[in-house]
């Protein structure tokens, strides 16, 4: 999907999505030079920030793996990427039906904790998966990214009785989600 595109998280058969997974996968870009095959480790981190009426109320990231209410869960920090060679290296699971009633938006972000810019990251992607059947709803490629260290990937927000996802893909800079909070505001 492309920037700014919104998709409704309705199943094709009319049912509502109940659980989604935001997956993040990457490999470090190969370095040119004498030791051409050597790669430098890159630590990307996926985070999810829960908003209620434009106020951040909870966050799920590598130091707080489960939102207090238990509806959003991070599968754990991956420091080097590339393990799955195409699979998700980090994932955040959202049980949409258990998200507290006042939370109306969840923003997903990716930060480069080690400071490399996305220009140095290879085969990076972020995808949204219907957790109930493994179907991929949306995929985003980060490869060939620019000289920035973070990206605001997407948001899931309440729409009527269900949820909708909007792809954001906005570049930003920061080491962890805290640095991104001001940059998130325009997207709420």
Partner 1 sequence: MTAELIRGQNHPLPETRLEIRVSAGQPIVAGATLNDEQGHMRSAEWIAHPASPQLPGLEVSRQAAANHRLAVDLDAMPEAVHRVNVLLALPTGAGGPSGFGSVAAPFVAVTGLDGTEVVSYTITDLDTESAVVALELYRRQGAWKVRAVGQGYAGGLAAMLSDQGLPQAGQLAATINEAVAAGMARAVAPAPVTPEGERARAAAGEAAPARPGPATSVTGSAVPGQSGGRINYQHPRRPGPGASAMPAGGATPPPAPSAPPPPGAEGSAPPPPGEAGSGRPVAGDATGWTMEERLYNQVWGMFEDLARTTAAYRSAVDFADSRQERELDRVLSDPQTRIGPAADAARAEARQKHAALVEQARAAFDRDVAQLSAESEVVEPALPWAFARWDNPVWQAYRAPDEVPMAVRLGDLGLPEHTSLRIPMLVRMPLQRGLWIDYGRGSVDSAVADPDELRRLAGETATAIAARLLAAHPVDEFNVSIIDPAGAAAPSLAPLLESGVLSEPPAAGSGGVSTLLARLTQRVDLVQMAVRSGAADALPPGLDTSDQLLIVHDFPHGFDDRSVTQLRYLADEGPSVGVVLMMVADREDARAFGPVLDPLWRSLLRLTPVPSDHLADPWVGHAWTYEPPLPPRGSGVIGQVLHQVAAARRAAGR
Instruction: Pick between residue 135 and residue 141 the one whose CB is nearest to partner 1.
Output: 135
Give the three-state DSSP class for 104: coil
Which tokens in the block code for residue 92? 């955040």
Q: Say if CB 143 and CB 110 are below 8 A apart.
A: no
CA–CA dist 145, 155 (Å, integer): 20
Q: Report, in Å, the least distance between residue 33 CB and partner 1.
A: 29
Q: Binding residues for partner 1, per CB under 8 A?
A: 11, 13-16, 18-19, 21, 52-53, 55, 57-58, 65-66, 68-71, 73, 75-76, 78, 83-85, 87, 93-95, 97-98, 100-102, 131-135, 161-162
> Which of 68, 81, 66 is closest to 23 using CA atoms?
81
Instruction: Pick between residue 70 and residue 115 the one whose CB is nearest to partner 1.
Output: 70
CA–CA dist 166, 8 (Å, integer): 8
Instruction: Pick between residue 19 and residue 188 the one whose CB is nearest to partner 1.
Output: 19
Instruction: Pick between residue 73 and residue 187 the one whose CB is nearest to partner 1.
Output: 73
Q: Report, in Å, the least distance between residue 144 CB and partner 1.
A: 25
C-beta neighbour count of 179 within 10 angstroms: 15
Q: Report, in Å, the least distance between residue 169 CB and partner 1.
A: 25
Q: Report, in Å, the least distance between residue 27 CB and partner 1.
A: 14
For residue 30, give every residue at least 6 positions away whose Cβ sits within 8 Å of its Cβ, in sequence order, or none.
36, 37, 38, 39, 122
């Amino acid at each position: 999907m492309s920037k700014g595109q919104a998709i409704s998280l309705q199943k094709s058969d009319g049912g509502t999505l109940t659980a989604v997974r935001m997956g993040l996968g990457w490999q470090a870009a190969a370095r040119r030079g004498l030791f051409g095959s050597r790669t430098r480790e890159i630590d990307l981190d996926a985070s999810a920030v829960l908003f209620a009426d434009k106020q951040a109320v909870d966050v799920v990231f590598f130091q707080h793996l489960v939102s207090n209410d238990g509806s959003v869960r991070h599968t754990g920090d991956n420091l080097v990427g590339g393990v799955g060679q195409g699979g998700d290296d980090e994932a955040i699971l959202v049980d949409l039906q258990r998200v507290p009633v006042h939370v109306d938006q969840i923003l997903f972000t990716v930060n480069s904790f080690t400071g490399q810019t996305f220009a140095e990251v290879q085969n990076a992607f972020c995808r949204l998966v219907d957790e109930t059947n493994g179907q991929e709803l949306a995929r985003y490629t980060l490869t060939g990214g620019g000289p920035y260290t973070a990206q605001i990937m997407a948001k899931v927000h309440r729409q009527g009785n269900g949820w909708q996802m909007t792809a954001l893909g906005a570049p930003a800079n920061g080491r962890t989600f805290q640095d991104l909070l001001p940059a998130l505001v325009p997207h709420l």
